[in-house]
């Protein structure tokens, strides 16, 4: 009768927990925006040391084997210990330990109780196990209703799997190692900061060999205990972090807007300047075309328009005095500045002498010497190519102007 009452109490606790789960979703009165919509992430990735928890609980553990009927049901106290971490407000993992140790008296012999106690005329049977498991947690409250730091009740379904070891009495040769798995429901009830009341309902499925039987064994359990949050226990929504920099961002945006206005004005000024330069370039292009249409003025045209240049010598002299040397300097510099190296312009040097003074032989000498003198000056002092100079000595008889017969005429 005591076993039945204990079982009924555990069933009632499970029913109450399941009935309360819809109320978990109805708690969202402080997790909505101004439009009444639920506020969700994204959230900052938490640091390694944040959002850890450790929990310890005790309760009732049931064991069914070889059929779900009252004859195959065993009830015993259970203990849970868990250590885990929340990676996001909705996703977490934990590792845990669950243990059971039950001792009963049976009227029939079993592998777990093969020795008859003569005083009681019954068989003493012991069944114990330890289950080391890993759990994948999904906080459905945060997933569906958004993260809320002050929520009173969080509803967390999970899957679990791990190593299951069973054993019997010390004098009974029985032990078994199996892989077990199952599902569970974890209820986190917030008491104060960092401390939660936990109600953990778990169903574990394992091979019946763990109790020296055939078939599949099912182990429902309900435990209640406390969980302590370690490290920094909350999550920060990204929008909250951004709000801290809103004022700084506003100042930066204002500065950028001012800079944008200044750049727009500068661009407008550059566009106007480019338009002005384009107009000037059009005018220059037109003028250039007009200039190209004009026949170029060549060096040959220049020299063809020049008349003969003359330098004068004193009577009987073959070198120039200072006055005529300056005259010669002017002529040579103007010739040199206009000589076109690509156009062969021949320069005729005509040396002259007056036959009215001196003998013919003397005058022939003077006319030739004067011409050679001028040629030498042009080549050595003014850089004229000697191959472009043509020397023509001349003796003038009965000159109309005697001064012209004592000169050198340069003809282009």
Sign of CA dihedral 390, 352, 362, 372: negative
Domains of the chain: 2-20+46-243 (2.40.160.20), 301-411 (3.30.1330.60)
Q: Range with the lowest mean pLDDT among 96-110, 260-274, 289-303?
A: 289-303
Type and span of the H or E element at 108? none
* Residue found by looking up tokens 């109780």 in the block: 113
Instruction: Supply the pLDDT for residue 389.
Output: 85
286 has pLDDT over 50: yes
Any idea how long the chain is?
412
Q: How high is the mean pLDDT of the chain?
A: 78
Please give the Cα distance from 260 to 122 (Å, whole number): 96
Query: How many whole angstroms separate alpha carbon 351 and alpha carbon 370?
Result: 6
Neighbours of 371 (CB within 10 A): 25
Give the pLDDT mean for 370-393: 86
Q: Does 304 have pLDDT greater than 60?
A: no
Name the residue among 221, 201, 13 with its Cα closest to residue 102: 221
Of the spans 112-121, 297-306, 357-366, which averages the highest pLDDT?
A: 357-366
Q: Indicate whether 26 pLDDT > 60.
A: no
Instruction: Return d(Cα 6, Cα 405) in angstroms, integer.
Output: 158
What is the model's pLDDT at position 352?
A: 77
51 Ramachandran zone, left/alpha/beta (phi>0; psi -120 to 50)? left
Tell me the pairing of strands 116-117 and 91-106: unpaired
Reply yes or no: is the peptide bond before residue 42 cis, omega within 30 of 0. yes
Q: How far is CA 74 from the centre of its chain?
A: 62
Tokens coding 362: 């003397």
């Amino acid at each position: 009768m005591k076993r039945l009452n204990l079982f009924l109490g555990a069933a009632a606790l499970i029913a109450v927990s399941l009935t309360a789960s819809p109320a978990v979703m109805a708690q969202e009165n402080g997790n909505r925006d101004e439009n009444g919509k639920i506020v969700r992430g994204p959230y900052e990735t938490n640091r390694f040391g944040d959002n850890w928890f450790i929990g310890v609980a005790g309760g009732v553990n049931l064991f069914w084997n070889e059929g779900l009927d009252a004859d195959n049901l065993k009830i015993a106290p259970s203990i849970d210990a868990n250590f885990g971490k929340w990676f996001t407000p909705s996703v977490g993992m934990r590792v845990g330990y669950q243990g059971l140790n039950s001792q009963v008296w049976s009227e029939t012999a079993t592998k777990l109780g093969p020795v008859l106690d003569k005083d009681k005329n019954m068989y003493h049977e012991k069944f114990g196990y330890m289950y080391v498991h890993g759990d994948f947690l999904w906080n459905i409250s945060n997933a569906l209703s958004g993260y809320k730091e002050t929520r009173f009740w969080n509803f967390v379904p999970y899957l679990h799997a791990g190593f299951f070891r069973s054993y019997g009495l010390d004098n009974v040769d029985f032990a078994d190692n199996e892989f077990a798995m199952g599902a569970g429901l974890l209820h986190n009830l917030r008491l104060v900061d960092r401390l939660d009341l936990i109600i953990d309902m778990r169903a574990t499925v394992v091979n019946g060999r763990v109790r020296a039987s055939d078939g599949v064994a099912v182990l429902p359990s309900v435990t209640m205990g406390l969980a302590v949050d370690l490290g920094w226990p909350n999550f920060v929504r990204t929008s909250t972090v951004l709000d801290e920099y809103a004022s700084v961002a506003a100042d930066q945006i204002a500065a950028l807007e001012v800079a944008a206005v200044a750049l727009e004005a500068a661009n407008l000024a550059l566009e106007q300047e480019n338009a002005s330069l384009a107009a000037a370039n059009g005018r220059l292009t037109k003028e250039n075309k007009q200039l190209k249409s004009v026949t170029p003025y060549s060096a040959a045209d220049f020299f063809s328009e020049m008349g003969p240049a003359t330098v004068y010598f004193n009577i009987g002299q073959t070198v120039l005095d200072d006055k005529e040397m300056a005259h010669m300097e002017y002529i040579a510099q103007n010739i040199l500045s206009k000589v076109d190296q690509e156009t062969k312009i021949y320069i005729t040097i005509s040396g002259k002498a007056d036959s009215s003074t001196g003998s013919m032989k003397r005058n022939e000498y003077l006319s030739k010497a004067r011409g050679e003198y001028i040629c030498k000056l042009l080549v050595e002092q003014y850089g004229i190519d000697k191959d472009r100079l043509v020397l023509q000595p001349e003796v003038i008889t009965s000159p109309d102007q005697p001064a012209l017969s004592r000169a050198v005429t340069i003809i282009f």
